[in-house]
Each structure stands twice: as structure tokens, then as C-alpha cells.
Structure 1
Amino acid sequence: MWRIYSFSVLILIVVFSTYCSTVNETMFVNATKSKLKILGIFGHLGKSHFDMFKPLLEELARRGHEVTVVSYFPRTNDAKAKEPLSNYKDISLVDPKVGVDVGVNVVDLKQMSQSSFVHIQRLNTLRLMADVTCNTSLRHPAITELIRSDEKFDVILTENFNTDCFLGFIHRFKVPYLAFSSHQIMPWTNNDMGNEDNPSYIPIHFFGFIRPMNFLDRITNTVGLFLYKAAYEYWFRSVDQVIANEVFGSDLPKLQKLAQQSSALLVSTHSSLFGSRPQLPNVVEIGGIHIPSKINSLPKDLTEFLDSAHDGALFFSLGSRIKSTTMPKEKLDAILKVFSSIPRKVIWKWETDELPHKMDNVMTRKWLPQFDVMNHPNIKCYLGHGGLLGISEAVYVGLPMILMPIFGDQFHNSAAVRNRGAGIVLSFYDLNEQSLRHALDACFNDTSYRENAQRLSKAYRDRPASPLETAVWWTEYVARGNGNPYSRSEGADLPWYQYHLIDVALVLIIVFTVFIYILFRLIKLLLSLLSAVKGKAGSQAEKKRKKKD
């Protein structure tokens, strides 16, 4: 009887302790799985930009959220057939009547040239693209209908790039929003977030500087940072404000104020590649978010071609925007001559059915499953243009690279790869047979490039959570709204002269100058008094001497 009683008491103690432990458990994660209404606004016409955002948008729909996406890239019929997402709604900006080019195979290499005014040209190109997207997209009938609708959303996702005109939706729907950058943070964005952008060691991505920068680079970087910020503030935003006011109404706040309301900025970079820099807690790196979770099998003909590449193979692609077939004849002839003479096979993204000269060791395709090709064990080198999506995939795989930057952030991305010793950078404008042959020889035969690429790959992959999981968490976190009042930096609200302590420096200089002046006057007065006392004592001594005489 005593044993039964003791056993019963023991069971009660265990049950009570478990209950108390459960009741008093500390919860740091909001596990509530509420259904969210999410609006994605992506008005830029570049497919490579949208390819970064698409995996997140589709994943949010898979998790039961209602996702409405405004873009030039609605889900294709094949994608819908493969994976129907009933809660993913496209608002397509594609309008055959307008004929706006959606940024696929649009860059004519014959039109590309080096110029002494390259930075003015870059700014002008960004401005022209912003004009097209703002004037065309915001005046689309579907956008007008959305603005006039009585829709309700919990959070808005939008791209941070070359215009703020789409931020009118933040004012229209009065909800928190996240900004996404498909590249290194734009110089003006750091201002809006209150994020550090010290030009002494953080290169802006318009120059392609190697880290650490030398003295001349730091001068250029500092002046360039100031000029790019000024151009965006007083040129871009002034134009965007007029367009946005026409579409959203005259009561629309200043776009800069709306930009400063961003609850978080998710950036498609990673410190392993671009280097460590101070970031606010709500500036989050999600580089590689577009990389799929599994490797798909290649088509049969590609597999057979690569399986027989016993000496290794080269993968050559200039991305989705650049049209390889527009390459100048002298450069194309140099490439063809080199490829035909190497003992290795080449997979080449080429937009027509055939090359000018047929080569047994070269296979071309108008489109290629890039990540799957890179993962074939016989691919030993990637030759590309320095686009961030391709570079990120090559870094993930651990593939050495040869990069020929042509425009935009490609110079910055390529410099980062070279800085890590994982690739070689060629000047496209100076490309010739000799330079390409030398680069290919180094990429295939210098083991240091592969070793550095493999080392970089390990660092790039080693994270507390996948880029996609991180982006999903931040989207749901901002939509819940618990941390939004506390996530923003107070530095984003400070005028430039306060942020850089110009007012403090001026006051301290004035105080120090006044102090030095007062000290100087006191010393001068003291010397005068000492001189007077000494003179008086001398006069008295002279009088005494005369009396004695």
C-alpha cells in the first residue's frame, strides 16, 4: 500500500512539474501562422531583377498567404501547369499596344563603348529607365484600377533601384513595407535607411574598386558617393515626385519621407563575397535567394555532350539582357578562334540556331538551365559578364570564373570575385585572342582559382538559415508589425549635417577658437602687466641710483 501511495505521488509531481514548465516556458518566436495579404510592386523591366524576387513571392503563396504581384513577368502557363498557386494573383504590366521591351536580349554589344563620361552616361541610363517604368507602369489601366480599389493589404514588397515613384502605394494602402535590392545597396538607399556608407573603405558599386582601396580610389569613391547621392536627390526624386503626384494625388508626401519608412531592406549580397561592412539589424543579406533547392537533370543532349568532356568544359553565358549575337566581329572572331583551338568543350548561350562557324567542341542553346549546367562535374570554368545572379550561382557551386563586365554593377561584382582570388577579370573592350587564351589557361590549369572558389563556396553556404527562409521570416515579421516601431534607425531622420556631425564640429571649432583667443589675450595681458611691473621696478632702481650719485 505504501509503495502504491509513493508511486502515485511521484506521478503527480512529474505531471505538475511538466505543466509548470509548459506554462512558464519563455517564447521568443511568434508561432502564429496567420494568413497575410501581400502586395508585390515590381515595375522595373529587367528580368534578371525579377528573378531574384520570384522565389520569395511563390514561396509566400505556397505557405497560404494571398499574394498579388504587379510586374512585367507574370507566371507562365507552363509554370501554372507545373505548380498551380490559386492564391498567387498576377497584375501584368505587359501591354502589346505600348510595346515596352521587357529587358530580355536587349543589350546590343555593338552599341557599348568606353567613354570619359561613363558615370554621366550611367546616371542618364538609370534616369531614362526610371522614366519608362514610371510613366508607363503607373499609368497602366490595371494600376489605376488597383489604386481605386478597396483592397486591403498587410504588407507591401517592392524593389529599391532607380526610382521611388512606386512608393505611392505605401501612402495609398497605409501599410508597412519591405524594400528589396537585387544588387549592392544603392548609395542613396543607405541615406534613407540610416545605414553606414563610409567611403574610406566601402566602395560604391559604380566604380568596381578592389578592396582595400588606395588613396586615389578613396578620393574618387568619396567624391563619387557625394555626386551620386546629390544627383538622385535633386534630379531623380524631383522628376519622380511630379509623376507620382499625378497618379496618387497632390496629397502624396515627399518620396524621400516614404523611402525612409521602409521597415527592412533585403539585399541580394553576402559578406563572404563582397566583404564585411556595418549593417543595421533591418538591413539583411539574402544573397543566393534565387538559387533552387535542388539540381534538376539536364536534357539528354546536354548530358551526353558534357559527360564526354573528359578534359573539362567551359560554360559561357552573358545573361538574359545581353544579346551575344550582337558582339562586334573582331571580338567574336577572337572568341571563335580560341574556342576552336582548345581541347575542351564549350556550352554557350547563343540567341540564334547556329554560330557563324560550326565547331565540334561547342554546343549552343538560346536558353540554358544555368545552375543545373554549372553543377555538372565536368564544368570547370564559368565565362560570364559579371551579373550578380550568375556570379552567385558560380560561388555557390565553387566554380572558378572569367568575367567580362560590360555595364552597371558588373564591374563591382567582378572586382569582388577577383578580390577573393576566385576568378579573372577581362576587359570586354580590350578583349582579344591573346587575353582570352591566357585567361582560359589560368582558369583551367591554375589550381589556386578552384581552391579559392571552393573555400568561398563553403563560406557562402554556411548561414544560420537559407536566404529564402530569412526573406520569408522578415516578410511575415514586418506584416505582423510587432517590431516595426523599433526597427528603424533614428539616423535616417537626421539632416545630413547632423548625421555627419557638421553642426557639432562647427560648434567645437568655434569654442576652441574662442578659447584660444581668450587664452592668447590673457597671456598678452599678463605679459603686459609683467612688463609694466618690471619697468616700474627699473625706474625706481634708476631713481635710487641717481640719488646715491
Structure 2
Amino acid sequence: MTRVAYRLGLYQLLLGFSLLIEPLLGYNVLMATMGGTKSHTVPFVALGTSLRSRGHNVTLLSAFPGPAANNGLHELVPSILEAYVENFTAEWDLVGARFRNELPVSPWDAMRYAWESCEALLQDASSIASMRKPNGDPHVRWDVAVLDGAYPECMLGILHGENVPTIMLNTVALYSGSIMRQGNPSPWSVTPYFGKAITQDMTFFQRILNAAALLTLKIMHWFTLSIYLQPTLQRYLGNHIPNDLHSLTAEVPLTLQNSHYSVGDSVPYLSNVVNVACLHCKPAMQLSSDLESFLRRGFVFVSMGSSVRASGMPEALRQIFFAVFSTLPYNVVWKWDGGKIKDLPANVRTAAWWPQQELLGHPKLRAFVSHGGLLSLHEAAYHGAPTLVLPVFCDHDGNAAQAEKLGYALVMDLAGISISALREDIIKVAALHNNSYREAAKKRSALLRDLPISPGELATWWVEHVAKYDGADHLKSSIRYMSVFHYYSMDVVLFYILSLILIIYGLKKLFRQAVIGQDVFKKKVD
């Protein structure tokens, strides 16, 4: 009897202990990006790795195999979506178009990507099942989902009705559409359009163009959602998908914004926006002895990122690069995704991949030549690397303008590039002494590193916070459902204007009656 009681007591103790530690076993975290370039996965992998180190089970859905699995995360790559993105980007001639002063990606292509990529995902039933429930198991649920702020409506539609607490990771820092729909103030006077080389410091003429661009973007977004994306979602998922897809974005309680006051303009955010710029940044590690010996002379690192294929550049532009690199007084490390280059200058080394952060943080780096991708510019600021930016497409112009405003970058337009101009600008940015770009880069590096908590730790805490409180409704703002008329108190202003008009009209009428009455009185006296 005593033994039975002992076993029963032990069982109850173990059961109580298991219930106590169950919340500590880790959350099921879904991360998903519909971004059409591999760079969109970088901040997700960084955040996912941090979450995994805390014991959480992390799955990343994207169109790119490798980044998640290579970092110990569960990977979900829908084959139809992967094929669509590969075909969509295969014909891109981004550098060539910019070199010819043409539009690299048309507005129509940017719009159709939203619903075509969504349909490619929706056609994969097993991936949809795994996105709604971990491994498609109906008895398990996601504790929290972290979705890309670029094209989020498709994923929000798929998760609609699953009661999954959702966070947005806004990979394009200058895009304010999502956070604006969540109630954050984004007046056009201080919200530059990310596709133009402008910052908050706009002239009157720039503000006119900026307002036109942002209005056009708003119309394009409404057209994409209402005319194409919503019918696509309803066709595959049923009529439970709301008619207004904007409402799904408005209900997201938290946005992790890939920005920070040290590398961007200071802007007014509500408490449901958390700045986590440089989420992926890390100290430089030791390089191989062979590469170290090549870098000892001093070097320039040239990389056009993951979305821009350097090997696809026009021959005339490549010859300009060759002519400049061969005459520089330093070596050149060039990210080149093509085959072996004939007659490559002796001071140039090429490879399809280089350890970018190790090179940017190397003491012998003289300058960084970049395409202006946000992640690359954040890395440049983090490692204190003076940068020459050759913007190509999307947010590159806006990112470059911001970096130039902060002083650590010089911007050159590919459409007007020449051998003498490119060489002169590289020499200017790479100078060892009296170099304002280097000093500004060092300042940005100090600011980015001097934080009470790292961006990775901060983002991880917030993901756990939203999961813990099952959606964190306390972070949502009532502003998200206010109309522009209400938000700016236009009705109140109109009320006071009408009241003032009525008061003036009434006083004027009283005065006139008083004058008329006085005249009548005088006539009677006379």
C-alpha cells in the first residue's frame, strides 16, 4: 500500500513538473517570406538562429533552398513557388537596364509578382497544409508567425482563421505601407518614396514628386489587392477570406522594422514598431592565410549583392570595371558569379561568394563598392567601411541617398559612369587620410554597436512576448481604423470654420439690424 502511494505521489510530482516546464520546451515558430530575392531570407535566418538557440522550433518558408537548412532551421520550400521565382528573375537585366538609363523592373512586373507568386504557393497543397499547421499536423498549432513585410497579404490570407499570433519583419526599411495600415504616422512630408534618391530633407519640388509617387504606389497596391490577389485567395481558400485584405495587415500587433536611428532618419513610431537594423550583423572572423596574404597590400571589395548578377552586365560596363581595377594602387576582391574571366588583371580576384562581413571588417579594407542593398549598407555601417554606391533598382536609390546623407557613402549613377569618374570616386572613398567617408563610417559603426541590447536579442524577446501573450492585442493602436479625415481632425477643423462663418454672419446681421434700427429712430425723432 505504501509502495502504491509512493508511486502515485511520484507520478503526480512528475506530471506537475512536466506541466511546469512545458512552456519552456520552446514555441513552434513559423517564418515566411514571399520576397523574390535571396537577400530577403537573411534577416529571417538571423532571427531564426537566435530563436533556435533559445530552444524554439523554427521553420522558414521561402522560395530559396539552403539558407534555412544550412543554419539548422527547418526548411519549407514549395517547389512551384521556387520555380516561379526562378523563372520570374531569370530574364532580369538589372545592371544593363540601369546602365542604359532604363527602368530595371516595370511597375506591372512588380504588381503581378504579388498575385502570381501567391498562386504558385497556393497550388502546392502540402506546403499550404504545413504552413497552416506544423508539418500539416491538425493537432498542433503555430505559437507565432513572423512574416515578411514585402507582399504579406498572401501569407496573411493563408493563415486567416488559424488564430496564429503574427509579427511582421519589414525587410525594406523605407517602405512604410504596412506600418501605416497598423496606425503608425507616415506623413508624406517626411516619408520619402524608397524608389527615389531622396531623404526626409526634401525640397518643395521633391515633395511634389514624392507625394505623386506615394499616391501612385497606394493606387497600385489597392489595384493589386482588390482586383487580383483577393479573387486568387478566395478561389483557392474559399469565401472566408475577407473582402478587404488591408484589414489583415491592420490586425498584425507588432512590426520588426529593419531600421535604426544610427543608419536612418529618426521617425515617429508607435510602440508596436521595434527597430532591429543589422539583425544579421556580426564581428569579422579570421580569414584563410592565402586570402590574408592577398589582402595585405590593402584592397577594395566589390559586390553587387545576391539579387544583381554581375556576370550579366553589358560588356562595355565590364570593360570600364577592368580598366579601373587594373590601375588602382590596391588589390580588388570582386564578387563575380560568372565563369573564369579571360585577361583578368593580376591585382583582381573573383569568386561567386566571398565572406562579406569578414572582408568589410578587415583592417586592410580601403573601400566597399556596393549596389546599395539595405543589408550591405547596414553591414558597411556596422564594420565602418567607407562605401561607393552604384544603385541598381527597387530601394537601392533610397538606401544610397540615406547613406550619403549620413556621410559614409558616395553615390554614382551607372547611367553616367566612365573610367575616369569611377576611378576618381574609388580613390576618394578609399583614401587613408583626410577621408570624411571613413570618419563617418566609424561614427556609424560606434552608434550601431553602442546599444543596451543587440538587435537579435531584442527581436527574439519580442517574438517570445507576442507568443506568450497569444497575439499581444495590447500593442494594437486604435488609429489603424481611423480615416484620414478623422486622423487629421479635418471634421473638427471644418466645424470650427463653419462655426466662425456663422458667428461672423450672425454678428454682421445683428450689426446691420442695429444700424437700420438707429436710422429709423432718427427719422422718427426728426
Q: TM-score, normalised by structure 2?
A: 0.88
1:26-37 equivalences under 5 Å are: 33=24, 35-37=26-28
Tell me: CA distance 1:250–1:58, structure 2 relative to 1, closer, same or farther (3 Å): same
Tell me: CA distance 1:398–1:492, structure 2 relative to 1, closer, same or farther (3 Å): same
Alpha-carbon shift at residue 301 of structure 1 (Å): 2.9
1:59 paired with 2:47, answer no
Q: Structure 2 regions of 5+ residues with no counterpart?
A: 1-22
Partner of 1:45: 36
Count of residues paired in the alignment? 497
Residues 72, 102 of structure 1: 8 Å contact kept: no
Alpha-carbon shift at residue 320 of structure 1 (Å): 0.6
- How big is each residue's C-alpha offset from its partner over 1:170-216, in whole Å with a ceiling of 9 and x where there is no partner? 32311210001112252321331100112222323122214411111
Partner of 2:396: 410
Distance 1:115 1:448 in 2: 31
Alpha-carbon shift at residue 523 of structure 1 (Å): 2.4
The SS at the match of 2:507 is helix
Alpha-carbon shift at residue 114 of structure 1 (Å): 8.1
- How big is each residue's C-alpha offset from its partner over 1:224-266, in whole Å with a ceiling of 9 and x where there is no partner? 2233223212333442111121232211223211111111000
Partner of 2:266: 276
Distance 1:502 1:468 in 2: 41
1:390-405 equivalences under 5 Å are: 390-405=376-391
Partner of 1:25: none
1:261 paired with 2:247, answer no
Partner of 1:139: 123
1:301 alignment partner, one of 290, 295, 307: 290
Partner of 1:225: 214
Residues 106, 323 of structure 1: 8 Å contact kept: no
Farther off after superposition, 258-267 or 121-130 = 121-130
1:129 alignment partner, one of 107, 113, 126: 113
Q: Structure 1 regions of 5+ residues with no counterpart?
A: 1-31, 541-549
1:112 paired with 2:112, answer no
Distance 2:186 2:305 in 1: 29
Tell me: CA distance 1:97–1:256, structure 2 relative to 1, closer, same or farther (3 Å): closer
Partner of 1:358: 344
The SS at the match of 2:246 is helix
- The amino acid that maps onto 1:452 is A
The SS at the match of 1:206 is coil
Tell me: CA distance 1:62–1:450, structure 2 relative to 1, closer, same or farther (3 Å): same
Tell me: CA distance 1:426–1:127, structure 2 relative to 1, closer, same or farther (3 Å): same
Partner of 2:236: 247
1:160 alignment partner, one of 149, 169, 189: 149
1:453-492 equivalences under 5 Å are: 453-481=441-469, 484-492=472-480
Residues 170, 176 of structure 1: 8 Å contact kept: no
Aligned-residue identity in percent: 27
- How big is each residue's C-alpha offset from its partner over 1:472-506, in whole Å with a ceiling of 9 and x where there is no partner? 00100000117812111110011232123232232
Tell me: CA distance 1:242–1:483, structure 2 relative to 1, closer, same or farther (3 Å): closer
1:201 paired with 2:190, answer yes
Tell me: CA distance 1:341–1:177, structure 2 relative to 1, closer, same or farther (3 Å): same
The SS at the match of 2:190 is coil
Residues 262, 444 of structure 2: 8 Å contact kept: yes
The SS at the match of 2:461 is helix
1:334-345 equivalences under 5 Å are: 334-345=320-331
Alpha-carbon shift at residue 323 of structure 1 (Å): 1.0
Farther off after superposition, 500-509 or 250-259 = 500-509
1:379 paired with 2:368, answer no
Alpha-carbon shift at residue 75 of structure 1 (Å): 4.0
- The amino acid that maps onto 1:91 is L
Farther off after superposition, 121-130 or 427-436 = 121-130
- The amino acid that maps onto 1:466 is S
Residues 45, 68 of structure 2: 8 Å contact kept: no
Partner of 1:515: 503
- How big is each residue's C-alpha offset from its partner over 1:447-473, in whole Å with a ceiling of 9 and x where there is no partner? 111111111111122222111101100
Distance 2:369 2:385 in 1: 10
Residues 94, 308 of structure 2: 8 Å contact kept: yes
Partner of 1:20: none
- The amino acid that maps onto 2:456 is L
The SS at the match of 1:358 is coil
Q: TM-score, normalised by structure 1?
A: 0.84
The SS at the match of 1:165 is helix
The structure with the largest alpha-carbon Rg is 1
Residues 383, 402 of structure 1: 8 Å contact kept: yes
Partner of 2:13: none
Farther off after superposition, 448-457 or 156-165 = 156-165
Residues 314, 346 of structure 1: 8 Å contact kept: yes
Residues 159, 181 of structure 1: 8 Å contact kept: yes
